[in-house]
Amino acid sequence: MTTYSYIYSLSNNFDGQVKLDQLHQEIENIGITGANFIGITQTSNEIAVIYDNELNIDEQIVLDDAIANHIPDNSPPRNNFINYSPTIAKVQSTSYTKVGSIFLDNSKLEITYIDVVAFKGNNQASYNIRIYDTINDNVIVESTNLTNTESSIINLGNLSNIPSTSTVYEIQAKLSALTGSPASRHVTIDQVLFYYN
């Protein structure tokens, strides 16, 4: 079987960093139809993208763009998580209000992400959520001006001030302002997902 390899330099084309499984998926998704993508091989500084047919000029440009746009995602995997359901799901205040708290031993697990499943009332402008370390008096993460009215999974963003010892994380929420009818003035948090290594 005849194959065609398109060679790229790890140091020059990828700035020395490539994630092959991610790049494989990205190349599969670029929509080249004149040739079947076979795979990728790496030999030292050389990355070879292999097809079963020769690419035309336009297809080579598409492939080159995919290579140029490759940014390796080296963030921790989302394999392990603790699913916490708040004790008070609905908040109707413009001040941060506790919806629940959870004790975690940070010496035994490393928290990498925190997601929430939440939504607001239809006529409410926006809402904020934060995770607060009550023992060390630190904000771990805060996400503001959220506007979704359907129950959605929301990543709260980059974490900071994670302690190396046990602590109590308090889940807090508030409305940005009291707008709309009283019945619609709420933020509801159904679940909080603590991902860890």
The answer to whether residues 149 and 170 belong to one domain is yes
Q: Residue holding tokens 């023992």?
A: 135
Residue with token string 């009818």 = 181
Same domain, 90 and 162: yes
Taking the whole predicted model, whether its pTM rises above 0.75 is answered as no
The domain tally of the chain equals 2
Residue 45 CA to residue 11 CA, distance in Å, equals 7
- Out of 68, 96, 121, a domain closes at 68
Give the largest Cα separation in the chain, rounded. 70
Domain that holds residue 63: 4-68
The reply to whether 95 falls in a domain is yes
**Residues near 87 by Cβ (< 8 Å), separated by ≥ 6?**
99, 100
DSSP secondary structure code for residue 183 in this structure = G
Per-residue pLDDT of the chain (197 residues; tens, 9 = 90+): 688 999 999 999 999 989 898 899 999 999 898 999 999 999 889 999 999 999 999 999 999 999 999 998 877 777 799 999 988 778 888 999 999 999 999 999 999 999 999 998 887 788 999 999 999 999 999 999 898 888 888 999 889 999 999 999 999 999 988 776 666 678 999 999 999 98
